[in-house]
């Protein structure tokens, strides 16, 4: 059973998790997001691997944990992780109901990509941690 989750940032909800046409579940904008706008942020201390949810060691689950766990990969992402601030930000304007994607990384293990973009690289490299 999947529990639908709606994340909140500052004064209002910015995203929800639901079924994705790309892969399983994904993160979708509940409102228009402007370029550079913060979509979610890590608000608790912890060490975690983005691709191994069972390795999360987080005292208080945060919006950031849910957000990065459900975000799908795209070779042409519309969001990015600001690792210095531990925030997910819009890379460009994101329309309401548009799925939010980020590029899983450029180092690590090569994995086959199925993002469907016309600019798809065909593979991406798994990032081991933030």
pLDDT of residue 22: 85
Count of other CB atoms within 10 angstroms of residue 83: 10
Give the mean pLDDT of 31-53.
68
CA-based nearest residue to 127, from 90, 81, 76: 81
DSSP 70: H
Answer whether residue 109 shows pLDDT above 80: no
Residue-wise pLDDT tens digits, 88-98: 899 999 999 99
* Domains of the chain listed by start with CATH number: 6-125 (2.170.270.10)
**Which residues are registered as beta bridge partners of 79?**
90
pLDDT class for 87, splitting at 50, 70, 90? confident
Confidence of residue 127 (pLDDT cuts 50, 70, 90): low
Per-residue pLDDT at 116 exceeds 90? no
How many other CB atoms are there within 10 angstroms of residue 67's CB atom?
Answer: 26
Q: Is the pLDDT of residue 73 over 60?
A: yes
What's the pLDDT at 23? Answer: 82
Average pLDDT score over residue span 93-110: 80
Considering only residues 15 and 111, tell me which one the structure prediction assigns the higher pLDDT.
Answer: 15
| Least confident interval from 67-71, 112-116, 124-128 | 124-128
Tell me 98's DSSP state.
P
**Residue 26 host element (H or E):** strand 25-29
Q: If you average pLDDT over every residue of the chain, what do you get?
A: 71
Q: Is the pTM here over 0.85, yes or no?
A: no
> Which two three-digit tokens encode residue 19?
């079924």
């Amino acid at each position: 059973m999947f529990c639908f989750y709606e994340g909140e940032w500052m004064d209002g909800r910015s995203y929800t998790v639901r079924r994705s046409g790309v892969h399983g579940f994904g993160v979708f904008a509940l409102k228009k997001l402007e370029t550079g706008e913060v979509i979610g942020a890590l608000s608790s201390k912890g060490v975690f691997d983005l691709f191994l949810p069972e390795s999360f060691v987080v005292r208080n689950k945060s919006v950031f944990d849910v957000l990065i766990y459900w975000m799908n990969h795209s070779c042409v992402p519309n969001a990015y992780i600001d690792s210095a601030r531990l925030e997910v930000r819009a890379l460009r304007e994101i329309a309401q109901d548009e799925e939010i994607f980020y590029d899983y990384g450029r180092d690590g293990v090569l994995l086959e990509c199925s993002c469907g973009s016309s600019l798809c690289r065909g593979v991406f490299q798994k990032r081991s941690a933030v």
